[in-house]
Amino acid sequence: MHNKTFVAVAVGLGLVTLSACGSGSAETKSSAGSKTVTLVSHDSWHVSKSVLKDFEKKSGYKVRVLPSGDAGQAVNKAILTKDNPQGDVFFGVDNTLLSRALDNGLFQPYQVKGANLVQPQYRVDQDKHRVTPIDTGDICVNYDKAYFSKHKLTPPQSFADLAKPEYKNLLVTENAATSSPGLGFLLGSAGQFGDNGWQGYWKKLKANGVKVVDGWEQAYYQEFSGSSEGRKAGGDRPLVVSYASSPPAEVIYAKKRPSTAPTGVSYGTCFRQTEYAGLLSNARNTEGGKAFLDFLVTKEFQEDMPLNMFVYPVVKGAAVPADFTKYGPQAKNPETMAPGKIAANRDQWVKAWTSLVLK
């Protein structure tokens, strides 16, 4: 989920071999060799060094990672280069953007070993097997506990609350045209207020001083007053569109572990997100790509994800660390939307949202 690179700040991404090469470079062409698999992903990809090394040892493949920006940016880049792809596997397309990737022929069919272990509610495209569900989580408004305590103000609990006068100029969100959490928040509002009501809702948010920035990292680390980096940067917005899993990251990666999370979640503002991976069309190393996709649904990788990418596993029986469930439980009743409805409305909704909110 993308867009939530706590580990990039706290630990760095040096645990995997990174490549910043463009399509057709010498680095990218190395995927043609039988011993290198190139993963194209959004910037929030992360895996424990020991887990990745175990895959490399067992499979005989070396993994090269090509980070490609926020999820929306990464998907668009992959589509533009699909005839001469930058890698073999793409990770990080979510349910808000999946139809765009499939309609543009981004992936070739492959049913992973262990596909039967993926929980049924996350499975899609089961007739063609072009993508595999990897993780799930909730896009939700987070709030700065210290701010609301200081101002003796109750944090918003719902989408409707965010448009109330007491929360004027407090919320920052991401651009729905460039950011997956921004798009998820837009879809959540459409689910909440309906096809004919969401635009009126956003008119109210705009009048109430909502701030829009390009991506999650800017929103969370620069504008949000509740994040560790936001406090240093002088962030002045105590409400941010982020994830239900953001508070545990604030606890786990704090220099001095707090007794409680400094941020909270407005659970009435959540939209359920699922991320997928697939074998890129025209991939040079298809066998290596298949092996890597098989790895992504193993229990070893699935149990490694929560404290690295702050998402929930989708494989049956995969354990979740206690800190993760304590500080970042999943929403009980998140907004959801059928893939077909997203596909039918996403582009026109984003266009209308852009005209309404950004102009």
CATH of the domain at 211: 3.40.190.10
Residue 207 and residue 168: Cα distance in Å, rounded? 8
- Tell me if 226 is assigned to some domain: yes
DSSP letters for 104-124: TT-EE--PPTTGGGB-GGG--
Q: Tell me the C-alpha to C-alpha distance, in Å, between residue 212 and each of 15, 143, 176, 240.
A: 33, 16, 9, 10
- Tell me if 125 is assigned to some domain: yes
- Tell me if 205 is assigned to some domain: yes
**Tally of domains in the chain:** 2
Same domain, 317 and 339: no
Residue pointed to by tokens 């997203």: 342
- pLDDT tens, position by position, 313-336: 999 999 999 988 899 899 999 999
Same domain, 145 and 232: yes
Same domain, 261 and 338: yes
Same domain, 206 and 336: yes
Same domain, 220 and 289: no
- Tell me if 247 is assigned to some domain: yes
- pLDDT tens, position by position, 82-130: 999 999 999 999 999 999 999 999 999 999 999 999 999 999 998 999 9
Same domain, 147 and 116: no
Same domain, 284 and 169: no
Cα–Cα nearest to 318, from 138, 120, 56, 117: 117
Same domain, 260 and 142: yes
Are 65 and 43 contacting, i.e. CB atoms less than 8 angstroms apart?
no
Residue 175 and residue 270: Cα distance in Å, rounded? 17
- Tell me if 287 is assigned to some domain: yes
Are 47 and 91 contacting, i.e. CB atoms less than 8 angstroms apart?
no
Expressed as residue numbers, the domain containing 126 is 6-136+274-325
Same domain, 88 and 199: no
- Tell me if 1 is assigned to some domain: no
Q: Tell me the C-alpha to C-alpha distance, in Å, between residue 58 and each of 70, 214, 295, 311.
A: 31, 40, 10, 25
Same domain, 45 and 86: yes
Task: State the pTM of this model.
Answer: 0.84
Same domain, 167 and 119: no
Q: Which residue type, as a one-letter code, is found at position 76?
A: N
Are 276 and 42 contacting, i.e. CB atoms less than 8 angstroms apart?
no
Rounded (10°) CA dihedral 306, 311, 315, 318: 20
Reduced to 3 states, what is the DSSP secondary structure of residue 222? Answer: helix
- pLDDT tens, position by position, 243-257: 999 999 999 888 888
- Tell me if 235 is assigned to some domain: yes
Cα 196 → chain centroid: 27
- Tell me if 58 is assigned to some domain: yes
Reduced to 3 states, what is the DSSP secondary structure of residue 30? Answer: helix
Reduced to 3 states, what is the DSSP secondary structure of residue 263? Answer: strand
Same domain, 336 and 232: yes
Secondary element (H or E) of residue 65: strand 62-67
Return per-residue pLDDT of the chain as tens, 359 residues: 544 444 333 333 233 333 333 334 334 444 445 699 999 998 889 999 999 999 999 999 999 999 987 777 889 999 999 999 999 999 999 999 999 999 999 999 999 999 999 999 999 998 999 999 999 999 999 999 999 999 999 999 999 999 999 999 999 999 999 888 999 999 999 999 999 999 999 999 999 999 999 989 899 999 999 999 989 889 999 999 999 999 999 998 888 888 889 999 999 999 999 999 999 999 999 999 999 999 999 999 999 999 999 999 999 999 999 988 899 899 999 999 988 899 999 999 999 999 999 98
